Amino acid sequence: MIGATSFSPLLLAAGAGADSFLERLPLVIRDTVAGVFPAPLQWLVGSTLSIVAIVAIFGGIFAGLTLVERKMLGRIQNRPGPNRTGPMGLLQPIADGIKALTKEDIVPRSADHLLHYLAPVALLAFSILTFAVIPFGRNLVPLELDAAVLYFFAAGAASELAIFMAGWASRNKFSLLAAMRALAQLISYELPLLLSFVPIIMLAGTLSMTGIIDAQAGWQLGFIPRWYIFTPWGFAAFVIFLIAALAESNRSPFDLPEAESELIAGHLTEYSGFKYALFFMAEYFGMIALSGMAITLFLGGWRAPLPFLEFIPSYAWFGAKLLVLLLFFIWIRGTFPRLRIDQLTRLAWKFLVPLALVNLGTAAFWSLTSGWSGALQLVRWALTIAMVIGPFVLLGRGLSGTHRPRTYRYA
Amino acid sequence: MTIPFLIIAFVTLVPAAVAMALRNLIHSSLLLIASWAGIAAFYFWAGAEFVAFAQVLVYVGAVSMIVLFAVLLTRHTRIDAGLAPDSIGRALAGLLAGGAVFGVLLGAVLSTPLRVGAKAAAQVPVKRLGLELMNHHTIALLAIGILLTVSLLGAVVLAATDSKGKGATP
Amino acid sequence: MILTPLHLCLILSSALFCIGLIGALTRSNAILVLLGIELMLNAANINFIAFWRYGPNPEAGTGVLFVVFAIGVAAAEAAVGLALVIAIYRHQRSIRLQDARLLKG
């Protein structure tokens, strides 16, 4: 029932007839392979191909990213990074994989064996599920849903459960404490994450990813794309989204749940070998998925940034934007010191959430004044920018004015 | 048509029943979360996409966290506190009452001839739902908003301790 | 007598309701009682969706909207209920419902 409504490879290919050959290439490959099989099996083969492609491509990106991250962090810290395995250390991910696979899988004797095993599997499964609705190209939406944005965050919400399972099943009080801390962080940052893109949904008028990308089509002044990041409220929302996404994917400077140099890897303490690698993989997949979401919501999805560059296939643009965002995340990791847990929660509840709520009002004002033109257009821009900067300054002042001794209540 | 339904019913009912019988609270909660996910699958099967995602987001994402936190914050041992001496009688009475209710409901459902609309249910687009929510059900929406705000504040007030008083309870 | 899909859905929901009911009646742990009540609410939601899907007028989204509201109310109920459980625990050092009898006359 679900498969029949959402998937029809031949129809998709027919609709894409106007595009260039390169644009259609992935669909052509899929339909050619699926065409070998009898008609009743075609949707199954097509879906399997999509799934295999997603897992293979993003698995490859994950492997490459671990190497790039270590290289870049090395350069930032003035050291060479991995350079012994293969030419320039290019084979390092393979060596890491072999190491993770052949390591002994240690499970504490009193651990809850089933849950201990289930936690990394569930985390990885949920993070792969989120890829299902991201539009990777003009015709490359694995699953076209009417409520795709909701689906994305519903699948992402389940990852908290996996972290709890990991912490509890280890039967280690430090694991459990760290898991609860990680959950507090994830719950705190889910709020600004969800609130930051509500204005987008309000202005695009749809929850479908394709609809949101369509709403960002066209050019202002002939060459500036109508992406949401190029509006004052959209920029504010993008920054909030990025900060919350960093926290949601446990990336530095919000990597308190792991904090490998200060805590003993938090809820991952009792994990080793391939299970640990699965957690690691899920974390990177989560980061890639959230970057894909940021691209879709704020950066015009697979659209080209300049009109004369539209001949390059859409998935190449998506890949380029993804690469830029991922490198940006690595850059941030190499640059910022880690936050304390009280600073972390304060940033979420006292700064990001109010800012996102105010931003909702700003976006409403923007959409109400869409009829203004001429000089009024300048007034509109000035007012919106003021509505973004004013709360930022006011709230930011409250945030930095808290340099007083801390009292520990639960430590 | 019915095979997926039967699978969904199995995935929903069995974890729920086992959860209600287990003595390990964490396992019960996790099994109940599986049951909630099964209910979300039922909504998806019935064509109510939006409700299915809302169910996952609210139950699997949020309520589960509250439940697990509550279990961890109120637990002496891993096992449910020992049953009272009269609990066998209570359990039997509860089972009897529940079984009786199920019997009555089952009889009522089976003896009622229900006509099923011949046409397949149309997918309700999310946009239509939103418009209806904002036009016909505005009051209900506002009431839900107020209810959620009040319950949030109430939960904070109930669960918070005085930090300035005698100090937090250990 | 023919078993229509609607019948099946109603049987599912009544079974779920009764599981929740039995749980709420027999368990002495306040959290599990609350969870049983949540299950009963979910069973009611299943009925809404079933009647919306197989009823005479599936184009109207009323059943769907009712479930959305019910989910919202259930979330509020869970939050307040579990906060109450924690408050009770703080006073009684136990969440057995038999122990919470201060107001019993």
Q: Domain of B34: which CATH number?
A: 1.20.120.1200
Q: If you compute the radius of gyration of chain A from its CA atoms, what whole number of angstroms results?
A: 23
Which of B45, B62, B126 has its CB closest to that of A207? B126
Chain B interface includes A411 (CB < 8 A): no
Residues in A touching B4 (Cβ below 8 Å) = 1
From B36, B98, B33, select the one nearest C14 (Cα to Cα).
B98
Chain A interface includes B125 (CB < 8 A): yes
Q: Is residue A311 part of a domain?
A: yes
Residues in B touching A168 (Cβ below 8 Å) = 26, 72
Q: Name the residue range of residue A155's domain.
A: 21-393
What's the length of chain B? 170
Nearest-CA distance from C23 to chain B in Å?
A: 5
Q: Is residue A408 part of a domain?
A: no
Q: Is A141 helix (H, G, I), strand (E, B) or coil?
A: coil
Do residues C97 and C28 touch, judged by C-beta distance below 8 A? yes
Contact B102 C15 (CB under 8 A): yes
* B to A contact (≥3 Cβ pairs closer than 8 Å): yes
Do residues A137 and A318 touch, judged by C-beta distance below 8 A? yes
Structural domains counted in chain A:
1
Integer Cα distance of C73 and C20 in angstroms = 18
pLDDT of residue A257: 73
Q: Which of B32, B50, B65, B67 to mutate to test the interface with A (most CBs of A within 10 A)?
A: B65
Q: Above 80 in pLDDT, residue C101?
A: no
What residues does each domain of chain C span?
Answer: 5-103
State both tokens at C36: 């049983």
Q: Is residue A164 part of a domain?
A: yes
Which of A157, A207, A407 has its CB closest to that of B61? A157
Q: Is residue A5 part of a domain?
A: no
Q: Is residue A39 part of a domain?
A: yes
Residues in B touching A151 (Cβ below 8 Å) = 53
Chain B interface includes A239 (CB < 8 A): no
Q: Above 80 in pLDDT, residue A344?
A: yes
pLDDT of residue A1: 34
Q: Is residue A188 part of a domain?
A: yes
Residues in B touching C20 (Cβ below 8 Å) = 16, 20
The rounded mean pLDDT for chain C is 86
From C29, C16, A123, A164, select the one nearest B24 (Cα to Cα).
C29
Contact A409 B168 (CB under 8 A): yes
| Phi then psi dihedrals of residue B79, to 5 deg | -100, 145
Q: Is residue B169 part of a domain?
A: no
Q: Above 90 in pLDDT, residue C17?
A: yes
Cα distances from C89 to residues A396, B72, B91, B170, C100, in angstroms, run 38, 12, 23, 12, 9
From A239, A310, A15, A284, select the one nearest A144 (Cα to Cα).
A15
pLDDT of residue A173: 82
Q: Is residue B166 part of a domain?
A: no
Integer Cα distance of C54 and A308 in angstroms = 52
The rounded mean pLDDT for chain A is 84
Q: Is residue A400 part of a domain?
A: no
Which of A146, A160, A176 has its CB closest to that of B49? A146
Q: Name the residue range of residue B68's domain.
A: 3-76+88-160
Cα distances from A172 to residues A107, A112, A265, A269, B68, in angstroms, run 11, 11, 12, 9, 17
Contact B98 C18 (CB under 8 A): yes
Q: Is residue B154 part of a domain?
A: yes
Q: Which of A193, A207, A208 to mutate to test the interface with B (most CBs of B within 10 A)?
A: A207
Q: Which chains touch C (3 or more CB pairs under 8 A)?
A: B
Integer Cα distance of C81 and C96 in angstroms = 14
DSSP annotation of A351: I
Nearest CA in chain B to A163: B65
Nearest-CA distance from B51 to chain A in Å?
A: 10
Phi-psi region of A102 (alpha: psi -120 to 50; beta: other; left: phi over 0): alpha
Q: Above 80 in pLDDT, residue C18?
A: yes
- Alpha-carbon dihedral sign for residues A44, A50, A51, A52: positive
- What is the arithmetic mean of pLDDT over A124-144? 87
From A288, A265, A273, A255, select the one nearest A62 (Cα to Cα).
A288
Q: Is residue A15 part of a domain?
A: no
Residues contacting A265, CB < 8 A, separation 6+:
A258, A259
pLDDT of residue B145: 92
Integer Cα distance of B127 and B130 in angstroms = 5
DSSP annotation of A265: -
Tens digits of per-residue pLDDT, A199-218? 999 898 888 888 899 888 88
Contact B116 C5 (CB under 8 A): yes
Do residues A366 and A380 touch, judged by C-beta distance below 8 A? yes
CA dihedral A43, B11, A179, B58 (to 10 degrees): 80
- Alpha-carbon dihedral sign for residues A370, A375, A376, A381: positive
Question: Which residues, numbered 90 to 129 in chain B, qualify as contacts with chain C under a Cβ-Cβ cut-off of 8 Å?
Answer: 90-91, 93-95, 97-99, 101-102, 105-106, 109-110, 113-114, 116-117, 119, 121-122, 124, 128-129
Do residues A116 and A169 touch, judged by C-beta distance below 8 A? yes
Give the residue, A78 or A223, on which the prediction is more confident: A78
Other C-beta atoms within 10 Å of A358: how many?
Answer: 19
Q: Does domain C5-103 sit in CATH 1.10.260.40?
A: no
pLDDT band at B88 (very low <50, low <70, confident <90, very high): confident
* C to B contact (≥3 Cβ pairs closer than 8 Å): yes
Integer Cα distance of A409 and A194 in angstroms = 29
Nearest CA in chain A to B56: A154
Tens digits of per-residue pLDDT, A33-85? 888 888 778 888 888 888 888 889 999 999 999 999 999 999 998 888 888 88
Contact B53 A410 (CB under 8 A): no
- Amino acid identity of residue A223, one-letter, is F
What ipTM goes with this model? 0.89
Other C-beta atoms within 10 Å of B126: how many?
Answer: 24
Integer Cα distance of C82 and C96 in angstroms = 13
Residues of chain A with pLDDT > 70, as a percent, come to 91
Nearest 5 degrees, angle CA A146-CA A149-CA A152? 115
pLDDT of residue B160: 79
State both tokens at A387: 């509505």
| Phi then psi dihedrals of residue C60, to 5 deg | -75, 135
Residues of chain C with pLDDT > 70, as a percent, come to 97
Q: Which of B101, B124, B142, B146 to mutate to test the interface with C (most CBs of C within 10 A)?
A: B124
Q: Is C95 helix (H, G, I), strand (E, B) or coil?
A: coil
- What is the arithmetic mean of pLDDT over A154-161? 85
State both tokens at A289: 């998925």
pLDDT of residue A341: 81
- What is the arithmetic mean of pLDDT over A130-143? 87
Phi-psi region of A20 (alpha: psi -120 to 50; beta: other; left: phi over 0): beta
Other C-beta atoms within 10 Å of C72: how many?
Answer: 20
Q: Return the minimum-mean-pLDDT range out of A116-130, A209-223, B50-64.
A: A209-223
* C to A contact (≥3 Cβ pairs closer than 8 Å): no
Integer Cα distance of B25 and B31 in angstroms = 10
